[in-house]
Each structure stands twice: as C-alpha cells, then as structure tokens.
Structure 1
C-alpha cells in the first residue's frame, strides 16, 4: 500500500507543476481544432488527466489511511487509545510543523508579489502574505481556513487527516459492530455536509469542519476494506486477467473526472476501491507495486507531499522569466526528491520513533480500544 501512496504523492507533485501554468486552468474552446493539437488539452480532458490529478490522489490517500489504520481493529487486537493518539500525532504533526518552518524560510527568501506569466493558482493560493511569527502560529494551529494555509497549501488534507484520526477508533468500531448501517450512515453524513456547504455557504472555519465530515466517508470506506480484506482478496484472485485490468483501467478513467463535477469525489472513492482491491488480490499487480523504485517512493511519500510545493514556489519565483520553464521543472524535481528522502530520514523516522517510545511509556491497560467494546 505504501507504493500506491508514493505514486499518489508523485501525482500531486505533477499536479502542482501543471497548475503553475495558465494553460492548466484557462478556458478552452473545445470546438476549435487547434485546441486538440495541444497536448495540454489531453491532460485536461482525457484519462491522461489522472497523471496530473491532485484531488483524486488525496482521496486515495484518505482511503489508504482508513485501510491501514483499521487493520489492527479488523484483526481484533486491542489498541491503547492514548498510545494510538500519541503515535498518530507524532506521525502527522511533527513532519507537518517542520514543513511549515521550511516553507516560511523559503517564502521569506523569495521575491514577493505576483509572477507575470504564471497562473492565478500560483499567484493567489500561496505566499500572498508577509511571513511573521503570528502567521506561522496560525498555520500550526491547523484551523484549515484559506488564510491559515498560505505557506504550504497542501496542508489542507492534513487538517482533515488529523481531525479524523482523533475519532478513527470509533469509526472502526462502528463499522465492525454495525456492519449493515455504518457505511450508509457515513454516506448520509457526506450527503448532509455536502448539502450544507452548497446551500448555506458557511464561513471558512465552519466550511473546513464540514469538509472534515465529508472526507470521513473515505476513511470509513478504507476501514471497511480492511475489515473485508480476506473476502476482497478471495474475490479478486478469481478474476480473469482481462477483468482485472479492465477494473484498473476503469479506475484510471474515474480518477480523470474533473473535480468540479457533482459527485466527482465519490467516483474517486470508487476508483480507490478498485485500485486497492487489485493491489490486495492480484499477484502481478502487487509484484509491480513491490518494485524497489515504487517501494522507495512509498517510503518518502509523506515528505514528498509536504516539502515539494515550497520548493516549486521558491524556484519559480526566483527563476521564471530568466530560465526556460522546462529547466526549472527539471531542477525542481532534482531537488525535491533528495529533500524528501532527507526529510524522511531526519524528520519522519525520528518522529515515528518518538511516537513509539512515548506510546510504550503508557500503561498497556490504560485507554484501550477493543474491537468488541469501546474506549476504556
């Protein structure tokens, strides 16, 4: 599953490179023949969009997180709740905090103001405010509002991941104990929260909290897959090769659905189910994901996700207009990968080690979450 996470993280990097240029978001006249002679059109309006699709990759992250977090509960193991929270906090928050400090440093060293020739996304979503201690603190509070994600806006997904992690043991227990009603209940939460967002247009903080309710569905989907893992593996193992790869092709196509369409994220969730099921039950697909390169990408995926955008912003702010964009992109990738590998070794690994040590210091009889009971 780490390999899938790594591929998704690389897709997010490509997504942000793509969004840097106006052609990625400017209106196109699709009835014009010259438009279809431009490769960019196919990256926007064909299944190739999956290669540069950021939101589908994040939905896959959410489903994968739900799957991995639910495995101990699905196996019937007791999980110390306090220890779980400590490990989860260290795993998510410490690398996140380091990435915010890294982004603040680069933002303070970069030229300010809009960069002519680059997209509105590039100029209006990031580094629009002067860096200050209060500004950094506002990011570290993880409020999830647009003004508190200016330094590194990939953090929007981490806000939801952290919130959902706090209640995830209850989500897993609900799914295990109430199999018939649990997943439909999370779908109803998704439906109600989505309706409120569309109809009432709430303030930014309320909107962020409602978004958390929306994304809980995808964690629940992943958790349900963990609970039914053996059954999924058995079913997939009986599929013919054409049927399996047709499912993977369908997933690739669903991931390419434009994010603005109603229900698009549900289609991304379905695509995530298909991909994870293929990875679980098919030896050929699983072997491909176990390639050393995919495994390495999976290990550094969180750092890749956290640190790539500040590097992109910094390089394009300094060098766009002076150096050919292709060279900036090559330089960015050449820097991003080693930085992500270094951050994994120097930030992520120590954070996970700290989380395990702090968790081990807690009494094993305190705050346990049991698959047959609740939080005690």
Structure 2
C-alpha cells in the first residue's frame, strides 16, 4: 500500500503558486521596497499585513513549507527495513539536480538571448537578475550547483534548491544520529541543534550569502522537524482526527497565525528576525500538514484533481515561473501594460511547467528508478524499521 500523501503534494503546489504570485508582485517598486514602518500604498499594506498576505506575500514562508515537507518525505524514504544509501542518493540527484540543470540552462540561454542593457528601471528586485556578466566562473558555479554563489544571476529561486540538495546528501546520517531515538531524545537534539545554529548565525551571520553553509545548518533543523513529524505521524493524525470540529478550526486558525507571523509582528525587529520567524512558520506548517490529512473535508479538497495536478507540476512551476516572467518583461515591457504582461506570463508559466513535468521531471525520475533497479545493493543500512501504512483517518 502506498505511503504517499497526496494532500501534502497539493500543499506543495499551493506553496509554489504563492511563490509565483509573490514574485510577480515584486515587479512593482512600491511592493518590492515595502517596509512595515513606511507609508506605502494601502493596497500593498493589505497584501503584506492582513490575511491577504497568505496569498500575495508568503513566498519565504512557502519555502519553509518546502523544507518541512522535504524532511517529512525523506524520512519516509529513509526509514525502512533495508535502506541503501547509493540508491537514495541517485534518486535525489535525478529528482532535484537534473531537472534543475535543464531549467538553469534554459534560464541562461533566455538571459543571453532576451536581456538588454536599455531596459528601464522596474524594481530593485528585478534589476538583480539577468544583468550580470556571463563569466565562466559564474556558469561553472551554477552547473556545480551546491556551492556558495550569486543565485540571483539567472533564476532567483535556486538558492533554496542549493540547501535542499546539500541537506539531502547528509540527511540519512542526521536521521540515524538524531531521529532514531525515543521522542525525548529526538526533541532534545532538535532543540540543541536549533539553539546551536541560532548562536552560529548570531555570531557569524552578518552579510551572509543566501547559499551560505551556515544557513544550511539552520535549515537542517527545519528538515529535522519534518522528520520528527513523519516519525510520529500516525499518532498525530489519529489524535487530531478525534478532535471536535470547533477545536480543529481553532487549531487551524493558530496555524494561519503562525504562517503569517511576519505580517502580524510587522516592524517589531526583535521578534521579526528571520531565524525566529522560520521556527514560528514551521510550527504553522506542521499543523497544516497534520490537519490536511486528519480532516476528511480538507483532505478531500486537497485531493481534488486541480490541486493534485498543481502538486505534480509544483517543482517545475517553482523552477520556470521566473524564466517566463523575465522573458516576457524583456520582450513586451515597452509594448504592453505591465498587468497584461503578468497575466500572459502567468499562463505561460503553467504551460511551460506542465511541459517540463512531462518531458523533464518524469523522465528524470523514471531514469533514476531504472538505474537503481539495475544496480545491485552493495551495502544496506537498517534504520529503525516500521511498517508502512496509509490509514484512512476517520
């Protein structure tokens, strides 16, 4: 019986869509330069500091959702009776790196063909991409993928994939060291690593590159939170399914508040720093994940065809939406209204992502599975086996 939770795929798809919308809004200078203590247009206040933030300004929060989900899913793939690390690593490379490689090559070619120096000012955020020189060193850094470099040069979103791939490589070891133990030990190590990473960033984290290894240390703890959730998923799902409807609604509202923490706290700098914010958002994400599976109504909604399709193409949508946006802006900025360009780019992003899913993602995953099926295991690691179950939550 499959252990795949389609509800979580749909959550990933919704998160990718939120990232897309947030990036499209960044085209507008007033939005891109918004500050909580500034007198920005009222419409942007609504998008940043009201419940509308969930749909227009939760890009960073969505990345945290990606990380928690990755920790959850990787734990399920690692925690079986006979875990074979080479097989795991090959599948991760074919799942993450190869689709990335195709996308970054397309981004580089599009930048070389379409960008031009006489593009008028749009926003500071927009000006960070497709404006740097194509040096051999920069191209090599992008091809090697997991180093520390300027990820804004061709496709801003790839910074999170650098952390994703780094952590994926070492994650089985982290599971064995920190999550195989009893709950109190797993919780202790999670708290210890969270405190340690926070201290490291506090002491050495000024002016960090967004792909810094120190940030990977921080995001490891977010992955581990997802792994802990996966380990105790059956107990959590069963407990939550027995809650009264009113209690579930209250818990869900708490999750929304946690997820929109940045907009609620606003200009309180002491509380609105990215380290503390990431942990608050992670708590909201965990609640979302639990409720999405343990609530029959929400589970049914997330299993709808439209949302499951969005979940399937979510990785490609994440990879290609900026390629579409930048291409359309350079092609049509002086020919069409900005709003119309964004609409056309929005629909083209879905077309491009659907094609990439069919012709890039699926073949890469199938190739990875084919290679690992033909490869005879050399070493196997026992990782606290537990039966794989996919129970229907009442």
How high is the TM-score relative to the length of structure 2? 0.87
Shift of 1:206: 9.9
Shift of 1:119: 1.5
Aligned residues: 367
Q: Would you say 1:192 and 2:196 are equivalent positions?
A: yes
Which of 294, 312, 337 in structure 1 is aligned with 2:325? 312
Provide the secondary structure at the position in 2 that maps to 1:79: coil
Q: Larger deviation: 39-48 or 151-160?
A: 39-48
Which of 136, 139, 143 in structure 2 is aligned with 1:140? 143
Structure 2 spans left out of the alignment, 5+ residues: 1-7, 264-268, 386-394
Which of 85, 98, 101 in structure 2 is aligned with 1:97? 101
Shift of 1:29: 8.1
Q: Please tell me whether the aligned partners of residues 25 and 32 of structure 2 are also in contact (alpha carbons under 8 angstroms).
A: no
Q: Would you say 1:47 and 2:54 are equivalent positions?
A: no
Shift of 1:180: 1.8
Shift of 1:204: 4.9
Q: Would you say 1:67 and 2:72 are equivalent positions?
A: yes
Provide the secondary structure at the position in 1 that maps to 2:150: helix
Provide the secondary structure at the position in 2 that maps to 1:243: helix
Which of 127, 139, 158 in structure 2 is aligned with 1:155? 158
Aligned pair in 2 of structure 1 residues 346, 287: CA closer, same or farther (>3 Å)? same
Q: Please tell me whether the aligned partners of residues 149 and 211 of structure 2 are also in contact (alpha carbons under 8 angstroms).
A: no
Shift of 1:324: 1.0
Which residue does the alignment assign to 2:389? none
Which residue does the alignment assign to 2:380? 368
Which residue does the alignment assign to 1:127? 130
Aligned pair in 2 of structure 1 residues 314, 247: CA closer, same or farther (>3 Å)? same
Shift of 1:122: 1.1
Shift of 1:142: 2.0
Q: Larger deviation: 332-341 or 237-246?
A: 237-246
Shift of 1:101: 0.3
Shift of 1:201: 3.8
Q: Distance in 2 between matches of 1:218 and 1:114?
A: 42
The structure with the largest helix share of the pair is: 1
Aligned pair in 2 of structure 1 residues 229, 209: CA closer, same or farther (>3 Å)? same
Which residue does the alignment assign to 2:350? 337
Which residue does the alignment assign to 1:58? 63
Superposed CA offset, 1:266-323 (max 9, x none): 1110111110000121111100000100000000000000111111112112322431
RMSD: 2.3
Shift of 1:138: 1.3
Q: Distance in 2 between matches of 1:114 and 1:63?
A: 42
Q: Please tell me whether the aligned partners of residues 144 and 205 of structure 1 are also in contact (alpha carbons under 8 angstroms).
A: no
Provide the secondary structure at the position in 1 that maps to 2:120: coil
Q: Distance in 1 between matches of 2:117 and 2:201?
A: 32
Which residue does the alignment assign to 2:392? none
Q: Would you say 1:354 and 2:367 are equivalent positions?
A: yes
Aligned pair in 2 of structure 1 residues 320, 254: CA closer, same or farther (>3 Å)? farther
Shift of 1:245: 2.3
Shift of 1:239: 1.4
Q: Larger deviation: 179-188 or 293-302?
A: 179-188
Which residue does the alignment assign to 1:294? 307
Q: Please tell me whether the aligned partners of residues 135 and 148 of structure 1 are also in contact (alpha carbons under 8 angstroms).
A: no
Q: Would you say 1:19 and 2:26 are equivalent positions?
A: yes
Aligned pair in 2 of structure 1 residues 354, 29: CA closer, same or farther (>3 Å)? closer
Structure 1 spans left out of the alignment, 5+ residues: none
Shift of 1:148: 4.5
Q: Distance in 2 between matches of 1:246 and 1:352?
A: 39
Aligned pair in 2 of structure 1 residues 4, 27: CA closer, same or farther (>3 Å)? closer
Q: Please tell me whether the aligned partners of residues 146 and 166 of structure 2 are also in contact (alpha carbons under 8 angstroms).
A: no
Shift of 1:18: 1.2
Aligned pair in 2 of structure 1 residues 207, 293: CA closer, same or farther (>3 Å)? closer
Shift of 1:78: 1.6
How high is the TM-score relative to the length of structure 1? 0.90
